[in-house]
A and B are shown apart, each in its own frame.
Chain A
């Protein structure tokens, strides 16, 4: 049976973007619409929308680099929305039969990374507040991103000697900041490192031009420099 076509309004509703955004995406090739023979109206297959929305890394990366409109299903404007969706992810993971040895850790890691974005950028977002938060239960993947200040800028307020994104990432993932001055400071990324060292979870984290990869049983911090500079923070968790 031929797949039912959705009109542009229905597609916009499903993805949570405006009609203008879908028209723009059609023109620039990001999400090409179907046109019936001789027609001018745009139509979409549900399967094409699903495929588009399943590429979490691509969508998050384009948002952090270009600030393009984000499908509302991935956008958490404030921490309350993030908390709600985190619980939803927790429930979905539990429903998928994910082991209780891993489930709390994946949710806690995602929670610490996401909350870090809110805690460190509240009132200081350079342009768009909030985080990208997407997950794919079947791919066992969680992607988080923000357009905030990034680790170097945040940490250099308490560690002015930090000059590079690589050094900032190393401090963020290794040094316990116990003074909590001049602002309250989370130690969430140290928690993330410990969890991953002891469990079958991997993490890719990028801030500025620094990229970090963590995996089980490897306590080395592999921090490399990327060719381009990322706005804010970008995280991929796989389990």
Chain B
């Protein structure tokens, strides 16, 4: 089963998904450990599972996801992955950890079928 988030080819949003899609998103370090300390979706707290995983449903229209990441190695490259229901994972984004700013966020546009 494929992942739900896909890049927005127009560049207006970070990702597109079908409205109502269930997304499992997690972070991982490249060489060290990474975790999510806190997360919010549309200004509402999102619970963190296993210290590094988020589960949420994409609503129609603009969704704003933000989370703060923690890494064991301040110089690590952080990967943001989506896990599909059958256990596959796809890298959505990767970036160098910034000790100045552990916050990352994405705009996800939910498309009504």
User: Is chain B found bound to chain A in the same assembly?
Assistant: no
Q: B residues near A, CB below 8 A?
A: none
